[in-house]
């Protein structure tokens, strides 16, 4: 596994647990040294135990030596980052292509080179061109095997995937990969073989569709707020239609994280190259980017335009619960704007202090829920951790005139009314 981040480390540990000999490689030497000591670089439930168990039984090891690890491996998964390019909407493929260049010099016997990173249509073709020379010509096959795991549920998603997509026409690779995934197929995972380009596009289309679903229900929530309708009735009523499905149909803040924001942009960029206008996805991106501003307007109304010295507490700051990932978290747009208006912010997150927020003044981290909300004028429930689901606000908040803005619709407005708490939610 090349790249030991969320995807590489989880996949590596899970493949080792299935009985394979796995080397997880990363250019970040500190990360590798920590992993050798059992220190896990990301928050992912169950991962630490899985890593330690498989290191102990000799199935999983860590290395910063890419070429040596490639030489010793039959199957190479590229799991490096594919962020958005600076000043562009395209995916920055420099990490992927750098890895491909390094692999080129380590091919002495047949190897399958797989992109597990999310890479745009035709990237496999490019990797093939980079690696191919007189010596390597018949000694490798480039396959697309996109990853669909979700942070916070990654081990379960890897072990019980909805589907496994293998994009290749190469017979030998097909056979080897079917064997590799046999333990998951026997547990019910659907195994689909496509062309390499199809596999690349399946991943982007899936993420763009999920982003569309979230954005769709968020916009319907806006309508609910103005028309006295409860968005949760709409989500349930729509979701029961099997053609629609209930998942990703819960209104909330904008979507964030390391995948949907960058992948929606990248698919548009790819489509542009093929002179195709993906107008729906364009409007999804715009709507999602505008959403934090819309939420800020609601906060403005809740505070009657008075932000100066107002104590605002964020419960959860990551892009969703059960992860420590801050990439494109909605609060990264909201917090600076609230600070600029004169608010004083403190936050609590079960995954701890966030360096992404440390550059601002008038913001502090609280070590527990109690101290976070104690002095708050406004409590913003930003993520849906279980820890936030049964807080006794009445007894814990000192200021008896506090307001709650629940961006995840965790609490019952009726119960809050009975408790005499000023409570506002999404789409209600
Ligand atoms: P990440 O940033 O957490 O990890 C990437 C790792 O690759 C880093 O540790 C980095 O040091 C390493 N790396 C970069 N260049 C390297 C090189 N030349 N040699 C060795 N290591 C190198 O990224 P991630 O979240 O694991 O995502 C990886 C890919 O998988 C992305 O394309 C992403 O879109 C995709 N993906 C992510 C998720 C997710 O939930 N995070 C889910 C599905 C797919």
pLDDT of res. 235: 98
Cα of 2 vs centre of ligand 1, distance in Å, is: 9
Place of tokens 């745009």: 120
What is the spatial distance between Cα 320 and Cα 14, in angstroms, rounded to a whole number? 23
- Taking only the tens of pLDDT, the chain with its 428 residues reads 999 999 999 999 999 999 999 999 999 999 999 999 999 999 999 999 999 999 999 999 999 999 999 999 999 999 999 999 999 999 999 999 999 999 998 999 999 999 999 999 999 999 999 999 988 888 999 999 999 999 999 999 999 999 999 999 999 999 999 999 999 999 999 999 999 999 999 999 999 999 999 999 999 999 999 999 999 999 999 999 999 999 999 999 999 999 999 999 999 999 999 999 999 999 999 999 999 999 999 999 999 999 999 999 999 999 999 999 999 999 999 999 999 999 999 999 999 999 999 999 999 999 999 999 999 999 999 999 999 999 999 999 998 899 999 999 999 999 999 999 999 999 99
Residue 259: active-site member: yes
Closest ligand 1 atom, CA of 325?
41
pLDDT of res. 259: 96
What is the spatial distance between Cα 389 and Cα 411, in angstroms, rounded to a whole number? 7
Taking only the tens place, the pLDDT of each residue in 273-304 is 999 999 999 999 999 999 999 999 999 999 99
Listing DSSP states for 164-195 in one string gives EEEE---HHHHHHHHHHTHHHHTTT-EEEEE-
Residue nearest to atom 44 of ligand 1 (CA): 147
pLDDT of res. 137: 83
Closest ligand 1 atom, CA of 6?
26
pLDDT of res. 300: 97
Which of 1, 2, 5, 31 has most ligand 1 atoms within 8 Å of its beta carbon, as the pocket-test mutant? 5
Residue nearest to atom 22 of ligand 1 (CA): 3
Place of tokens 């409590």: 379
Contact yes or no for 379/343 (Cβ under 8 A): no
* pTM for the full predicted model: 0.96
Residues 6+ apart with CB under 8 A from 241: none
In a 3-state reduction of DSSP, which class is residue 345?
strand
Size of the chain in residues? 428
Task: Determine which one of 55, 259, 313, 331 is catalytic.
Answer: 259
Burial code (b: 16+ CB inside 10 Å, e: under 16) for 299-309 equals: beebbeeebee
Residue nearest to atom 28 of ligand 1 (CA): 81
pLDDT of res. 400: 85
- Strands 311-315 and 422-425 turn out to be unpaired
Residues with CB under 6 A from ligand 1: 2-8, 25-28, 31, 66, 79-82, 95, 98-99, 117-118, 147, 149, 151, 258-259
- Helices 94-104, 123-131: axis angle to 10 degrees equals 30
């Amino acid at each position: 596994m090349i790249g030991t981040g969320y995807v590489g480390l989880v996949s590596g540990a899970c493949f080792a647990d299935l009985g394979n000999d796995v080397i997880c490689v990363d250019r970040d030497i500190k990360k590798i040294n920590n992993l050798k000591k059992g220190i896990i670089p990301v928050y992912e439930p169950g991962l630490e135990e899985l890593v330690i168990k498989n290191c102990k039984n000799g199935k999983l090891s860590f290395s910063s030596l890419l070429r040596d690890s490639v030489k010793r491996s039959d199957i190479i998964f590229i799991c490096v980052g594919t962020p958005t390019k600076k000043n562009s909407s395209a995916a920055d493929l420099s990490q992927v292509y750098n890895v491909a260049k390094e692999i080129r010099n380590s091919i002495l016997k047949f190897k399958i080179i797989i992109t597990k990173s999310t890479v745009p249509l035709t990237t496999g073709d490019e990797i093939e061109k980079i690696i191919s020379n007189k010596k390597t010509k018949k000694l490798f096959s480039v396959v697309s095997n996109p990853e669909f795991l979700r942070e916070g549920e990654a081990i379960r998603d890897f072990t019980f995937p909805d589907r496994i997509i293998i994009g290749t026409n190469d017979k030998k690779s097909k056979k080897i990969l079917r064997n590799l995934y046999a333990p998951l197929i026997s547990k019910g995972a659907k195994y689909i073989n496509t062309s390499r380009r199809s596999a690349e596009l399946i991943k982007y289309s899936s993420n763009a569709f999920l982003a569309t679903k979230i954005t769709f229900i968020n916009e319907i929530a806006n309508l609910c707020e103005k028309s006295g309708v409860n968005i949760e009735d709409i989500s349930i009523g729509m979701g029961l239609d099997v053609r629609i499905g209930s998942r990703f149909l819960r209104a909330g803040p904008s979507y964030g994280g390391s995948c949907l924001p960058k992948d929606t942009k990248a698919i548009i960029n790819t489509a542009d190259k093929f002179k195709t206008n993906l107008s729906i996805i364009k409007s999804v991106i715009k709507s999602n980017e505008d959403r934090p501003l819309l939420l800020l307007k609601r906060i403005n109304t809740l505070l009657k335009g008075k932000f100066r010295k107002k104590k605002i507490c964020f419960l959860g700051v990551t892009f969703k619960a059960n992860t420590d990932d801050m990439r494109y978290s909605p609060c990264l747009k909201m917090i600076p704007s609230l600070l600029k208006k004169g608010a004083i912010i403190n936050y609590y997150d079960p995954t701890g202090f966030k360096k992404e927020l440390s550059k601002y003044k008038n913001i502090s981290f609280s070590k527990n829920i109690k101290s976070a909300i104690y002095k708050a004028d406004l409590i913003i429930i930003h993520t849906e951790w279980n820890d936030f689901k049964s807080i006794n606000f009445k007894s814990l908040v000192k200021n008896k005139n506090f307001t709650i803005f629940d961006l995840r619709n965790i609490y019952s407005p009726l119960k809050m009314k009975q408790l005499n708490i000023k409570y506002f939610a999404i789409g209600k």
